[in-house]
Amino acid sequence: MRKSILLLFLCSLAWWPGRAQETVRLSLNDAVNYAWQNSNEMKNAQINIIDAEERIIENRAIGIPKLNGTVDYQRYLQVPVQVLPEPFVDLISALNPGQEVNREASFFLKNNFSAGLNLDALLFDGTYLTALKASKVYRDYTAREYDVTKREVRNQVIDAYLPVLLLEENLEILNKNRENLSQLFRETKALYDEGFAEQLDVDRLELSLANLEVEKENLERQQEAALNALKFTLNADQDLAFVIEEDLEGLATEVPQELLTSSINYQARPEVQYLEKGIDLADLNIEQYKMGYYPTLRSFISYTQTRQWNTQEDAFWAPTALVGVTLNVPIFDGWDKKAKIERAKLSREINLNQQNTLLQSIELEVTNARSAYTTAQKSLEAQERNLKLAERIYNTTQIKYREGVGSSLEVNQAEQSLYTAQGNYIQALYNLAVAKYDLLTAQGQ
């Protein structure tokens, strides 16, 4: 029985989920969604929205009546006394002839206990009304900020994801080249052993294989570094294993033609909406300072019960109740509000200048993105033609070499040309994918 329990315990350890490395299959969209859910930038943007909601509640609370209760107890260790006025002393002397009058008297009892309720309400304050509007606009402002952050995180993921694909496809092509070159090396080595090839031919192929092996190791290190950078961008655990499901050819697809020819939709960019909300806040800031010139009106109600005594026999309760209003009329503040209004206007002017700069930069960004995409398309077409030509030359030189009418030098030269053409083609695919997403970003998509 004890052996069975031990065996069950060991099996449970073997199947414990934490012992196995988690593997995530990752397309580009999956990576973007993962980052949206896990990146600290997105979490902070969500916190800002929640904070804006709480700010609305906080500002609204200023205008809600406040009810406070107070309890107070005092005991005089030495009861204060006062000197009686001379007329009062004369009156006492007249009423009590022959008695000495003590000119010191106390109007306080040793123990004082009071409990009361105070209700305070804001009846009118122009700055309060403006602050309520500003807090709602600020909530929209944080929502636009969230959209901007979401877009920035998406672009960061794309920038980190595409290099992983580039290195992965370079590795895939390199491995195929190694297989082909290894086959040719084995054939040449067999011919050399039979006396039909030179040692130089074998050495050249062996050197090419060694160079490919070194390049393979370099690419693997670069790929690992690129994957680690992608995990960092996604805010993922470095121990998490990713299986990349995309390829450059699938991502380097054509964009809709209207993106290359249609007019720019500035409102599609969240940065524009974000800055517009900033201008709205600046307007409300000016309005709030102007409202400071208006009077404010508050009302209050207070009820208090006070108990005083020296001993319990002479204790008594004294109630107090009052109601009133307070009108505060600003008359002169040393030009404080005027200066604040002028500063707020200057801040709004800065926002307008930033908006103008943003619109100009978007126009330039779209123009450059369109040009880069068109150039990348043409470059890919040219590199595709070059690759086909290099493959045909390489295949022809291999056939000639196997038939004994070509040299290993020709094979080596054709091989290097093929590797260059392959690298250029993959790079052109990568450039087109980058240009595509830059264009989509510039157009607000």
Instruction: Assess if residue 112 is contained within a domain.
Output: no
Per-residue pLDDT tens digits for 264-295: 899 999 999 999 999 999 999 999 999 999 99
Instruction: Assess if residue 6 is contained within a domain.
Output: no
Q: Name the band, by pLDDT with cuts 50, 70 and 90, for residue 26.
A: confident
Query: Does residue 383 carry a pLDDT above 70?
Result: yes
Helix, strand or coil, per DSSP, at residue 394: helix
pLDDT at 90: 66
Query: Does residue 260 carry a pLDDT above 50?
Result: yes
Instruction: Assess if residue 95 is contained within a domain.
Output: no
Are the beta carbons of 39 and 234 closer than 8 angstroms? yes
Tokens of 259: 């993106």
Instruction: Assess if residue 418 is contained within a domain.
Output: yes
Domain that residue 397 falls in: 20-78+125-442
Which residue's entry shows tokens 């009304």? Answer: 129
pLDDT at 19: 41
**What mean pLDDT is predicted for residues 152-179?**
92
Domains of the chain: total: 1
**What mean pLDDT is predicted for residues 169-183?**
89
| Of 364 and 90, the one with more pLDDT | 364
Are the beta carbons of 404 and 359 closer than 8 angstroms? no
Instruction: Assess if residue 192 is contained within a domain.
Output: yes
State the CATH number of the domain containing residue 230. 1.20.1600.10
CB atoms under 10 Å from CB of 13, counted, come to 8
| Of 122 and 11, the one with more pLDDT | 122
Which residue's entry shows tokens 């060991």? Answer: 10
This prediction has a pTM of 0.81
Calpha distance 406→391 (Å, rounded): 16
Nearest Cα neighbor of 33 from 24, 22, 23 is: 24
Query: Does residue 10 carry a pLDDT above 60?
Result: no
Instruction: Assess if residue 288 is contained within a domain.
Output: yes
Where is mean pLDDT largest: 12-16, 237-241, 418-422?
A: 418-422
Instruction: Assess if residue 87 is contained within a domain.
Output: no
CA distances from 443 to 91, 258, 260, 440 (A): 97, 10, 10, 5
| Of 392 and 15, the one with more pLDDT | 392
**How many Cα neighbours within 13 Å face the side chain of 87?**
0
Mean pLDDT of the chain: 87
**What mean pLDDT is predicted for residues 164-185?**
90
Q: Name the band, by pLDDT with cuts 50, 70 and 90, for residue 16.
A: very low
**What mean pLDDT is predicted for residues 64-73?**
94
Calpha distance 293→89 (Å, rounded): 54
Helix, strand or coil, per DSSP, at residue 333: coil
Nearest Cα neighbor of 109 from 88, 71, 85, 80 is: 80
Q: Name the band, by pLDDT with cuts 50, 70 and 90, for residue 9.
A: very low
pLDDT at 8: 40
Q: Name the band, by pLDDT with cuts 50, 70 and 90, for residue 99.
A: low
Per-residue pLDDT tens digits for 342-363: 999 999 999 999 999 999 999 9
**What mean pLDDT is predicted for residues 19-39?**
82
CA distances from 307 to 76, 279, 323, 390 (A): 14, 58, 21, 106
Instruction: Assess if residue 422 is contained within a domain.
Output: yes
pLDDT at 6: 37
Nearest Cα neighbor of 298 from 123, 104, 134 is: 123
